[in-house]
Amino acid sequence: MEQLGYCARQVRQHDHDRFICSLFAPPAEREGLQSLLAFNLEIARIREAVSQPLLGRIRLQWWSDALDSVFAGQPPPHAVATALAATVQRFALPRAPFDRIIEARAFDMEDAAPADLPALVDYAEGTSAPLFGLALDILAVDQAAARAAARDVGIVWALTGLARAVPFHARSRRVYLPADLNRQAGLDVFRLFEGRLSDQRMVQGLAVVVGAVADVAQSHLESARAASRDVPAKAIPALLPATMASIDLERLRRAGCNPFMVPDPRRRVGRLLRVMLNAMRGRY
């Protein structure tokens, strides 16, 4: 199906890490995973694609309405929606996780920082964990240990991504670092927006806040891996992004928890080899 090819191209270009992980799934399931990731791209990139939050809310509502048609087997004329409808039908995917992702993404339209770490974790869980759960549905994995690990990996993936994306969000005058930690650390987000990091106090404050986010991500990573002995091998393609997140957390630590100092890690050979080795060993 051409729409599935379109999804693969979009994911390869814009979500390369998870594209690589999806390649370790069997071909039929791989296409389903890629259509799922393409749907996530459509939702996740709405805020950066619109000039006003209201337009973003309208786009989110469009996708919410589109899901009605997707689950009715009559998707709108949109390549990702068409591919997603085929995936939903083939793997009998539930509707609720999709709705939860859209609902959680409404926060992107607020242009406000999460109030505290628990609020940030809630956002990470809502925007990311359902996607990993749906990936397990596609892979026909329903074990409790795998489900718990998928939730943790989803949170790890989102928190690590948000920590890495601080420079990108700052350029758009957005911040996902917890507001209470910013105040306590003396981190002036308006100076962050302006890229004014020459002040050592700003650098230290950023390191404290990003370090706190990284600590929570690390805790969820350890929790996910603690269950690995009870996770079936066929779940590994869905959980492999934990390997990518682990690498990014290590690089963030080496940069002193300053995301402005972390080199772009995409498509590095060592990164891909580590994922390949974990896939071969049934690890994540």
Q: At 15, which CATH number? A: 1.10.600.10
- 81 and 152 share a domain? no
Q: Does residue 105 lie within any of the structural domains? A: no
Q: Is there a contact between 234 and 140 (Cβ–Cβ < 8 Å)? A: yes
Verify that 141 and 278 share a domain, yes or no.
yes
Q: Which of 38, 46, 49, 28 is nearest to 8 (CA)?
A: 38
Three-state DSSP at 164 gives helix
Tokens describing residue 164: 């890495």
Whether 107 maps to a domain, the answer reads no
Distance CA 18, CA 16 (A): 6
Question: What pLDDT does 197 receive?
Answer: 76
Cα–Cα distance, 259 to 249 (Å, whole number): 10
Instruction: Specify whether the CB–CB gap between 18 and 41 falls below 8 A.
Output: no
| Cα 71 to Cα 99: distance, rounded to the nearest angstrom | 12
| Predicted pLDDT at 1 | 55
How far out from the chain centre does Cα 124 lie? 8
What's the Cα-to-Cα distance from 159 to each of 2, 68, 124, rounded to whole Å? 33, 30, 6
Rounded to whole angstroms, the Cα distance separating 151 from 132 reads: 7
Mean pLDDT by 10 residues, the chain (284 residues): 80 95 95 97 96 95 98 97 97 98 96 95 98 98 97 98 95 94 93 80 94 98 96 97 97 95 76 94 95
Residue 261 located in a structural domain: yes
Do 33 and 6 share a structural domain?
A: yes
**Domain extent at residue 257:** 112-284
Q: Into how many domains does the chain fold? A: 2
Helix axes 53-71, 79-91, angle to 10 degrees: 40
Same domain, 73 and 206: no
H/E run at residue 131: helix 117-138
Give a yes or no: residue 103 inside a domain. Answer: no
pLDDT at 199: 79
Tokens of 185: 């650390």
